[in-house]
Amino acid sequence: MNIIRQLRVQKGIQQKELAIEIGVSNATVSDWEHGRKKPSGERLKKLADFFGVEEYVILGQGTYIPDDPRLFVPIKPEISGKTETEQIVDRLLKQLQGQPRTQEAEIISVALDKMPKSERVKALNMLKAVYSEYFETEGEQMA
């Protein structure tokens, strides 16, 4: 299933509702969903913002995990100019209330990139679990 259609269906809206939200015709949304055209420029940004995902998810350049968009793992790091590890660490740090990348994060990224792939995957999964736990705990305290 096309990612735009998948996100639209998951959000529970019709093509015409998405078209109105983005400022395009129903035919344009249909073209995107059937792979006849790809969104670009401001329309791509509007789609990404509307669905709460990165722009390259809309373009089909990564894996989208519907249960938790924070766990998105890019499959084509060359698009961003960063390694997979850097992208994951950056994404996790952005979740910490928009704090900028720190020297510690740089050290973590470099160290993880030096690990064998199997060990790096385990370490990144552990980091994801730590951050997920952090956000669940923070949400409980704020409630």
Task: Give the pLDDT confidence score for residue 140 in this predicted structure.
Answer: 45
Task: Give the pLDDT confidence score for residue 19 in this predicted structure.
Answer: 94
Task: Give the pLDDT confidence score for residue 98 in this predicted structure.
Answer: 52
Give the chain's domains with CATH numbers: 3-60 (1.10.260.40), 69-142 (no CATH)
Give tens-digit pLDDT for 38-72: 898 899 989 988 887 778 788 877 665 555 544 45
Render 103-138 in DSSP notation, one character per residue: HHHHHHHHHHHHS-HHHHHHHHHHHHHHHHHHHHHH
Render 51-112 in DSSP notation, one character per residue: HTS-HHHHTT-EE--TT-GGG-EES-GGGTTS-HHHHHHHHHHHHTTTPPP-HHHHHHHHHH
Task: Give the pLDDT confidence score for residue 15 in this predicted structure.
Answer: 93
Task: Give the pLDDT confidence score for residue 136 in this predicted structure.
Answer: 63
Task: Give the pLDDT confidence score for residue 36 in this predicted structure.
Answer: 92
Query: At CA 28, angle to CA 38 and CA 5, rounded to 5?
Result: 70
pLDDT < 70: residue spans in the chain: 1, 62-80, 84, 87-88, 90-102, 104, 131-143
Record the pTM. Answer: 0.48
Angstrom distance (rounded) from CA 61 to CA 77: 9
